[in-house]
Amino acid sequence: MHILLHKIHNSITSSVYYTFTMSLVFFLFGFLLSSITSHVSARDFCVADLKSSLTTVGWTPNQFNFSTISATVDNFPALNGLGFSLARAELEEGATVPLHTHPDATEVVIAGSGPGKYTTGFITSDNVVYIKTLSEGDIFVIPKGLLHFGINSGKGKSVGFGVFSSENPSIEVLDLALFGNNLDSAILQKTTFLDIEQIKKLKTFFKGSG
């Protein structure tokens, strides 16, 4: 009987310790989870307002007459790890999105509303050109790394959206790469076959030197 009671006592004690230990584990886990996620709300996943006043990217307002706002992981942390980002652009009548490339991202262009017409296209690695004037709601895919452009070919303002296959896509603008630097104009003349006068004019326009 004494042995039986001792086993029962040990069993009860073990159960109490187990229950207490597990309760403590769940409490600490819950506290840790709460401390990590207490600041998270639906708002954290809806902070990129692509309808707000557009911000320029530094080289658009005077040279190309369009402005853009983007939602990347840098300003929209909810995109972290999701592998995509977005942008919205407004092109004034006659505006141009210059030849540029996204070395690490495919882009899907979606034509928005507006009286203008958005014409876009890209150039393949074997110099084949694909170009299309989009109507509202049309979608155009631009493969990763290819030179592409956009033009407002209609009357009035046009709006477009871009979705990128990277949460923080890079961009290289051809005009800036050529003329917004300090590469010697004589070298540019040899590599582009442009006149020195034209090169210097473009360097002044794009704030380059040399």
Per-residue pLDDT of the chain (210 residues; tens, 9 = 90+): 444 334 434 544 455 444 544 444 444 444 444 444 445 566 566 655 555 544 444 344 457 888 888 888 888 888 889 999 999 888 888 899 999 999 999 999 999 888 888 999 999 999 999 999 999 999 999 999 999 999 999 888 888 999 999 999 999 999 989 999 899 999 999 998 999 999 999 998 888 888
Q: Measure the CA angle with vertex 50, ends 67 and 120; round to 5°.
A: 50
Pairwise CA distance, residues 179 & 97, whole Å: 16
Q: Tokens standing for 13?
A: 């004690």
Check the annotation: does 107 bind a ligand. yes
Check the annotation: does 148 bind a ligand. yes
- Listed by start position, the domains of the chain span 1-39, 45-179
* CATH 2.60.120.10 holds for 45-179: yes
Check the annotation: does 39 bind a ligand. no
CB distance 155 to 182 below 8 Å: no
CB distance 136 to 111 below 8 Å: yes
